Amino acid sequence: MSNINETEKMKELIEVLNKASKAYYAEDIEIMSNAEYDALYDELLMLEEKTGTVLAGSPTVNVGYEAVDNLPKETHESPMLSLDKTKDREALRDWLNGHEALLSWKLDGLTIVLTYENGTLSKAVTRGNGEVGEVVTNNAKTFINLPHKIAYKGKLIIRGEAVISYDDFNKINEEIPEEGAKYKNPRNLCSGSVRQLNNEITAKRNVRFIAFNYVSQGGSDTDFKLRSEQFDFLKKQGFEVVEYHKVTEDSILDKISYFAKMVANYPIPSDGLVLTYNDIEYGRSLGRTAKFPRDSIAFKWADETANTHLIDMEWSPSRTGLINPVAIFEPVELEGTTVSRASVHNVSIVKSLMLGIGDEISVYKANMIIPQIKENFTKSGNLTIPKFCPACSEKTQIKNENGVETLYCVNEACPAKQIKRFSLFVSRDAMKIDGLSEATLEKFISVGFIKKLSDIYKLAEHKEAICNMDGFGDKSYEKLIASIEKSRDVLLPNLIYALGILNVGLSNAKIICKAFDYDIEKIKNATVEEIAVTDNIGDVIATSVFDFFHDSEKLSEFNELVNELNILIPEKKETNSNIGGKTFVITGSLNTYENRNALKDLIESLGGKVAGSVSAKTDYLINNDVTSNSSKNKKAKELNVQIISEEDFNELIK
């Protein structure tokens, strides 16, 4: 079996084992027996030992989380130069000058330099200014596809791009209730994630590393002549390598067209292509200019533009009060689709473009995806910035933040803010009320049925009017009311999240509720300092919670809402002094307990914790076959973790 095939097999095993662990420990579902799990685990361990490679996510390793006070700086061994650029496809073909080259994606993330020594990742440094970068080694260890160990034991330095996919970017943004707090694009999210002072945060962001450049291999007995050979070598070590194709003057235009068709649906952000001579020695012989290496060149997409006329500017209020300008123009065809709208982002851009109704403008799709205004030819500047909010008719306010002007509605009772707030309130992770879409909420708010949160639970008073509304009838009304009635029974964390408190997501709500014993009165009366000392909360979130419950109007509305609800509080767990705070791992068959879940429930009810794998934080491994050579037993012995039987455990809790 080749190294590449072995690597693929390891990836399959990791996926299966992690899926089984998640099902068992997080979802209380057993999808394979202990024997099957251990056999697959041992097979993975054997392959890791044989290949010398340990892939990210492997259940055989655990990445420890660590917080640092700052990111140290370090000078790169060789400077990281920018690339010369062109948008001309013919110029790119001429650049080849008869030589073969590799054409690959130019990924839009954060460039990282990795150093491996003795088969282990020893250092990860950001590009920085090209000369000096920031050391992010602990954060890099959490990248979801990065090998922790490789077969090659010499010194290896490679460059690549840390990236976050569009899907993960959207999922992370969906968890942020505040519109103004959402991340602007995957690149900014990735950069912030990689440069965190606590790598536990990085680990939650699904950052990937894609190698694009082999820098050096100290003490290597391998003499690569082609860059494609270097990429093959990196693949064998377990790295994900950027997609590339060998091209010549005859094939390059077709390959550019291939990438152009792919970019709109490519899952990773890309802002162009990179062309690099395949012959390493030839590339080196060309040297470099003061700014650019001569062995590579970047290709930026020549954005397809179209001229049109500005018809209107739609000012769209959001739940935070931010009013976003959206340009409406005569429809045009761009990159194969019809486009008639483009976000203008803020007042500063509106002013800099000197926009006016009727102006002739050119529009394009940034990176062939996002519609933007490129230029205003007539620059009439006659566009009026609204002095009143389109949704509530109250006065607007222009705020200047870091030199950028943005338009806000400062009216807390603005219907637009209410629609977004109510939409969050009824959402799946909040009160779970089906049938109240934003469009329906807007209808109910506009006719005065809903002015505050508690009004949702009084909608039955308007049965006749609701049944006569467009899109409603008796059946849809009954279904809506049934969903509302069901939502009256609610867990406290879901209710706290549903309130839309600034910066408080569901996970933070759970932490806060647990810290204050699920006592809503304690949370309402807590000081900023008392909330801030809670794990992973801090001053910003604590201040948001405190301010919410000390705002007289919000507190009054909350108290009215609580009168309509039955807040469910988890039963307080009895703590056994012998196992309180202790971490257990369970493996093998059981004799006195119905199944692992029953034993797990008992441990947690007594204040203990149950983990999926043995680590340095494990206190006990429960295994009736104490002398077995299973992978968990081996790991426990290596870490001096006590292995006990069910009988031992029963004695422990007496």
- The Cα-based distances of 422 to 373, 445, 501, 581, 593 in angstroms read 33, 10, 12, 39, 46
- Residue 106 known to be catalytic: yes
> Pairing between strand 370-376 and 360-366?
antiparallel
Tokens encoding 476: 């849809």
- Phi and psi of 375, rounded to 5°? -155, 150
Structure tokens at 383: 């566009």
Closest CA to 320 of 419, 405, 404: 419
DSSP strands (E only) in 492-645: 566-568, 583-586, 609-611, 620-622, 642-644
C-alpha to C-alpha distance for 532 and 528, rounded to whole angstroms: 6
List all residues 6 or more positions away from 509 whose beta carbon is below 8 Å from its beta carbon. Answer: 493, 494, 496, 497
DSSP for 477-517, written as a single string:
HHHHHHHHHHTTEEEHHHHHHHTT-TT--HHHHHHHHHHTT
Per-residue b or e along 572-604, where b marks 16 or more CB atoms closer than 10 Å to that residue's CB? eeeebeebeebbbbbbbebeebeebbebbebbe
Residue 50 · residue 38 · CB < 8 Å: no
Helix (H, G, I), strand (E, B) or coil at 140: helix
Whose tokens are 């806000």? That residue is: 408
For residues 321 and 307, is the Cβ–Cβ distance under 8 A?
Answer: no
Distance from C-alpha of 162 to C-alpha of 229, rounded to nearest angstrom: 22
Closest CA to 275 of 294, 302, 250, 254: 294
CA distances from 520 to 442, 497, 562, 563 (A): 30, 13, 10, 13
Token digits for 276? 């690099």
Residue 458 DSSP one-character state: G
Rounded CA gap, 107 and 213, in Å? 12
Tokens at 599, concatenated? 């034993």
Strands 73-75 and 270-277: unpaired
> Residues 6 or more apart from 360 whose CB is under 8 A from it?
307, 308, 309, 376, 377, 378
Catalytic residue among 106, 365, 417, 635: 106
HSE-up of residue 632 (Cα within 13 Å, Cβ side): 26
Active site members: 106
